[in-house]
Structure 1
Amino acid sequence: MVGPIPIDDKLGSEFVTNFKSEISSNGVFYTDSNGRELMRRERNMREDFVADLSRQPVSGNFYPVTSRIALQDDSKRLVLLNDRSQGGASLEDGALEMLIHRRHLFNDGGGVGEALNETQYGKGLIARGKLYLILDSVEKGNTANERKAEKELILSFWKFFSRASKTEQFTTKNIPDFNDLPQSVHLLTLEFFTVNEILLRFENFLDKTEGNLISFNIRDIFDSLGGLSIRETTLDGNMPLQEMKRFKFHAQDSGNKPSVAEYSTAQHDFLEADKYDEASMFSVSLYPMQIRTFVIKTD
């Protein structure tokens, strides 16, 4: 917990936490892309252009970190898991740095057009959060364990309690048992979509270097939710998957100049079934990083 940050110096401050090691990272580190795949970063470098960071050598090396930042050499690996979005960097070999909080009294020229001086009840804000440190060897499969730790530590269950109702009769709602799902399958969404429909999403959170195609059956989940029918949809749930048709773009110099418009459709067979169908109709397969969305119609 950091804050409120004092501004008696009429300037402001930035608070960071720094983790140093003897790992020979050679300026290379990795940050997650919106909580999914890891992106390779290199200090003072950009992948697609020559960067001039002479005016901003520190801030120019910070990247958004949603859930994970890491560095390694041939044998050792240092990882930080964060429970909220932060800025992260590796400003020297073997070191990871996370921005915890900041407060300024002058516009930094970064585009906001005002000083970063947020207050509440007349005082500066307080920043709260947790960082989890993982020290490990560089072996195949270890990054998969990091992803599992993300889900267990950062996305743990929240428990809510209320006073007992004075009503003697009430209706209970069964919660499906998700313990039989494969370890790399994340229940991404379980919520009401309409009055009598439930939105369900599954994600295979391993990438192609960590896992493979994985299959499981959701018939028991469907029955536990009182399902009458189920249909697979696009990611947002607004269109049946079999109706999806997206325009296919071709790069200008690709040499491909089709005479008629081309469209892409789903790369797998869509799932559509009802309560009278066999359990085999409820099989779901997920490639690494794939998300599939379903709408279950209930009583």
Structure 2
Amino acid sequence: MTDSTIPEDEIGPTTWTALTTLAGRDAAESLGALLEGMDPAPTGIGVFELEDGSGLWEVGGYFTDAPDGVALDLAAAAFGARPFTVSAIPPTDWVAQVRRELTPVVAGRFFVHGGHDADKVPADSEPLLIEAAMAFGTGHHGTTQGCLLALEDLIAAGVTPGAVADVGAGTAVLAMAAARVFPQARIVASDIDAVAVEVAAANLTVNGLAERVACVEAAGFDDDALRGPFDLIFANILKAPLIAMAPDLAGALAPGGHAILSGLLVRQADAVVAAYAEAGLTPSDRRVLGEWATLTLRR
């Protein structure tokens, strides 16, 4: 039985996911558009290319009411997709679950933690507080942790950037880390997702850094606040958008500036290095944590 004292917005209703794969971007996007007209309608739709070299695309719908299985079968057949796999996700106390899983993470001087572990912060650390309800994009993912360790390497090398951008900031962990160690720097955190920008702003506030970092909603570098030049750019996203933004990122990076890139599986790193080499950046370091790679490059 669910504890009635837990706020409903933290538990959430039962939701359903419907996922399929098919070949071709155009077909995938058309199938995603078709899902929008279903009854009941999905509350969200995702269309993503699988990064396994298969050439397949995943199309997913997220529903607060059980989806119409017949309509899903017809939609899949119309575009030659595999039958949708429908899964029910029961009500979950997400905050309690994250609190159980969100143990403190140390990355050099940085100590990423939830409020429930505030009493564990070492005296000589730079604490970064991420509340359990806003815990996606924290240092608990190998890519973010890799970026923090790459930042430590730059600090050890005497790098002191005057302007920093965190593109695809999520919860703004990296922007906050930069604000803590580069108190004179101009820092911008951006994300394509409006909710992520709100979460970033909230995290900056609880860390006492709201006045130090500007938060903007933008795709890539498509915002006046991201015109550059920046001496340091973080981009912890995915292979495909990293490659797509290589010319813009290189253009926003000051001569001699550094870029820390992640969100990459180890096997994807060489393709990203090649794209940035073509844009004029030279790799200076590659860090591997488990299956994830973090790249440091310099213009």
Bin for the TM-score computed over the shorter chain: under 0.3
Which one has a larger percent helix, Structure 1 or Structure 2?
Answer: 2
Q: Whose radius of gyration is greater, 1 or 2?
A: 1
Greater RCO, CA 8 A, separation 6+:
1
TM-score relative to the length of structure 1: 0.24
